[in-house]
């Protein structure tokens, strides 16, 4: 396990100390948890950005958009069989997530 020395502003140190006391945990455990949560959120945000960019590219290309719709239709029976969707449709009769 690696070691990390961090200088905290007094207010943050006070809040960390109070949380550690209330949670009955060492400050280092809370710091590890907080760093892990931060990294997970940032990784998720980057992944979501990449997915949004891919969706934008697909939506802007008529051929790619058409192909993606066809692929989604191909998977719909499998999703229904697995119970992943109840077939809820939007106003256009399309499954809500398309």
Q: What confidence score (pLDDT) does residue 34 get?
A: 96
Q: What confidence score (pLDDT) does residue 73 get?
A: 87
Q: How many domains does the chain have?
A: 1
Q: Let me know if residue 53 belongs to a domain.
A: yes
Q: Let me know if residue 2 belongs to a domain.
A: no
Secondary structure of the chain in the HEC alphabet?
CCCCCCCCCHHHHHHHHHHHHHHCCCHHHHHHHHHHHHHHHHHHHHHHHHHHHHHHHHHHCHHHHHHHHHHHHHHHHHHHHHCCCCCCECCCCCECCC
Q: Let me know if residue 27 belongs to a domain.
A: yes
Each residue's pLDDT tens digit in the chain (98 positions)? 899 999 999 999 999 999 999 999 999 999 999 999 999 999 999 999 999 999 999 999 999 999 999 988 888 887 776 664 455 565 566 665 55
Instruction: State the residue range of the domain holding 25.
Output: 10-82
Cα distance between residue 6 and residue 36, in whole Å: 15
Q: Let me know if residue 4 belongs to a domain.
A: no
Q: What confidence score (pLDDT) does residue 93 get?
A: 60
98, 72 in Cβ contact below 8 A?
A: yes
pTM (two decimals): 0.63
Q: What confidence score (pLDDT) does residue 86 get?
A: 55
Q: What confidence score (pLDDT) does residue 88 get?
A: 59
Q: In degrees rounded to 5, what are phi and psi of residue 14?
A: -65, -45
Q: Let me know if residue 69 belongs to a domain.
A: yes
Cα distance between residue 36 and residue 60, in whole Å: 36
């Amino acid at each position: 396990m690696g070691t990390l020395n961090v200088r905290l502003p007094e207010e943050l140190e006070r809040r960390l100390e109070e949380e550690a006391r209330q949670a009955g945990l060492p400050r280092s455990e809370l710091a590890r948890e907080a760093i892990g949560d931060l990294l997970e959120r940032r990784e998720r945000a980057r992944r979501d950005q990449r997915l949004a960019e891919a969706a934008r590219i697909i939506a802007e290309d008529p051929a790619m958009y058409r192909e993606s719709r066809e692929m989604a239709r191909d998977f719909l029976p499998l999703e229904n069989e697995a119970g992943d969707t109840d077939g809820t449709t939007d106003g256009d009769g399309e499954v809500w997530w398309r």
